[in-house]
Amino acid sequence: MKKRILSGCILAASILVTTSCSDFLTENPQGKLTPENFFSNQAELDMSVYALYAKVQAFQCNSNPMIVQCQGDDVTSTTGSNKAAYLSADSFEAPSDVKGLRDCWNRLYTIIQAANLIVDNAANAKANQEEINIALGQAHYWRAFSYFSLVRVFGALPINLHNTPDNNTTPLTTVEDVYALILKDLATAEKCNLPAKYTAINRSINGQNIYVSDQTVKATQAAVYMAMAGYPLNKTELYATAATKAKEVIDGVNSGKYPHGLLADYADVYSYGNNQHFETLLGIDYNSIPGGWSEGDSQLSSCHQSGKLWSGWGDFLAERRYWKNFPDGPRKDATYSKQILLNNKVPVDWWATTDGEAYNGKNAAAPDFRPMFVAFSVNKDASGAPVAAPFDYTKPVWGGMCINKRHHLIRYSEVLLWYAESAARSGSDLTAAKAALKQVRQRAYSDQAAVTAVDAMDAKQLAEAAYEEHGYEVAGYVLGMVTRRADEFRMNRLQENHAYRSGAQSDVLVPAGTLTNSVDADGKPFTYTLKADVVVKEEMAVSAPWRNEASIYHNYPPTEVEKNPNLKR
């Protein structure tokens, strides 16, 4: 386990699911494990689950599948680089580079393939029922997760439940019916009575679950019901059901049934020194040897870093206005770098200029003239090795790409906020809902008046506050099951992003009079006071008109449309 996560899963995956998911309905099963030659014992049952998790790893091994999240108002990308796919999503345009659409679609459907094989055949294994249920629970969960991810990006979908060839004629299933299938899978996973805590090798790591648990299923049900309560189904009555499912998780945590809670220090949430921790209900773990480039390696370490610093890739950069609106405190300090460390030596403020004058596009002290997310980043020691500690903006940054930082897809703080928002929107008693929001704010804010302010909120104010709070919890973290873009999609607010980015963008980002740390053109540090407000537009212009549903949903991948003419709206 110290060398590899899910030992043997790569080999198992290469045997079990070998073809591209773009051909999931027409592939030739020759050479794959089939019911006739597999699922005969516990070892083979385990191997099928390892194969499933190999495809889960592959889904997020690099940034491509998360490109679609650039519609959110928290992230943008690098202009004048190779980021056309990211910038098209950021500007609500049809992309010329379709790698984001392709990889989001293909990798999720590959998870579905692996899950289907288990769902259809696990019962044949000569294993005890508890073990069969664990395997089935993993499969039903990840199939539901995959369709949940797909339906919020693409809308109506072709459904594959049994890997049955159909010569690319599968019709689209409506969004509502896709959600019905998601709920059915999650209900089945819940009935499998999955453990709250795993201890076996390959099912847990450093005391935390790798496999999906009972509480993970319930938390996901809460998120799904919330999604159904919003756009496009607008079944607002389901907020009550969402609150019920989230409360089951919270009650389980409070009773000790579920081994989760909030970390005391927000700096530990994304810390490489606390890689697996009890706040995470759903995580993806990767190979522990830095430098690999397989689907079992997390290739994201420099994706938050500017392409002009530390060899960063600049895939997901911070939008300035979201940084400006983000509440000060430990959470902001762990989400954004407080300053930018030039040449890994000199810290400057992101808005600093080399001459102390207004920004003119050429005099920025730090590349990109914007704040920087740090959730993916780690520091390096004197030997150049990554440091297992919370990211420290005053210390040199490790410039490598691949490292086994855990991907945190669902955290307990999110469950608290889902409960607070859903309870408020459904007319439930607000006492427990307010307590949940206060618990999250207590850790996040430097101004504790924001915590006590919750007590005076009415239901509408509480719902909106919890909604915004969740955005702050996941800002820039495009790996989450519910991202900022997903929240805005549910609330049908993506058009507001378009309106801001296509408008004047006149918000004051940093006020005049702010003491600023900078360097001059020769690299000599100096400080100055801003003479004028910092007001600057995002570099990526948004000029495409708003096209309602066509702007909200992403296009189906062109290669899939060519194969299946049913993929059209």
pLDDT surpasses 50 at 6: no
Q: Which of 36-45, 136-145, 406-415 has the lowest mean pLDDT?
A: 36-45
- Using one digit for the tens of pLDDT, what is the confidence trace for 417-427? 999 999 999 99
Euclidean distance between CA atoms 376 and 395, whole angstroms: 15
Q: Which of 154-158, 314-318, 326-330 has the lowest mean pLDDT?
A: 314-318
Q: Mean of the pLDDT values across residues 164-183?
A: 96
Q: What is the DSSP string of 491-535?
A: TT-HHHHHHHHTS-----SB-TT-EEEEE-TTS-EEEEE-SS-B-
Taking the CB of residue 276, how many other CB atoms lie within 10 A of it? 16
Q: Mean of the pLDDT values across residues 353-365?
A: 97
Q: Mean of the pLDDT values across residues 166-171?
A: 92
pLDDT surpasses 60 at 22: no
Q: Are 73 and 484 in contact (CB under 8 A)?
A: yes
Give the pLDDT of residue 191. Answer: 99
332: left (phi over 0), alpha (psi -120 to 50) or beta: alpha
Q: Are 116 and 163 in contact (CB under 8 A)?
A: yes
Euclidean distance between CA atoms 310 and 306, whole angstroms: 8
- Using one digit for the tens of pLDDT, what is the confidence trace for 373-400? 999 999 999 999 999 999 999 999 998 8
Collapsed DSSP state (helix, strand, coil) of residue 401 = coil
pLDDT surpasses 70 at 141: yes
Instruction: List, in sequence order, every residue forming a beta bridge with 183; answer none if it has no partner.
Output: none
AA identity, residue 444? A
Torsion sign, CA atoms 342, 359, 376, 263: positive
H, E, C per residue of 125-192: CECCHHHHHHHHHHHHHHHHHHHHHHHHHHCCEECCCCCCCCCCCCCEECHHHHHHHHHHHHHHHHHC
> Predicted confidence band at 367 (pLDDT cuts at 50, 70, 90)?
confident
> Predicted confidence band at 313 (pLDDT cuts at 50, 70, 90)?
confident
Q: Which helix (H) or strand (E) holds 9?
A: helix 9-16
Collapsed DSSP state (helix, strand, coil) of residue 274 = helix
Percentage of the chain lying above the pLDDT 70 cut: 93
Give the pLDDT of residue 423. Answer: 99
Q: Mean of the pLDDT values across residues 443-467?
A: 98
Euclidean distance between CA atoms 282 and 215, whole angstroms: 9
What is the rounded average pLDDT for all residues in the chain?
93
524: left (phi over 0), alpha (psi -120 to 50) or beta: beta
Give the pLDDT of residue 166. Answer: 87
Q: Which of 249-258, 279-288, 292-301, 501-510 has the lowest mean pLDDT?
A: 292-301
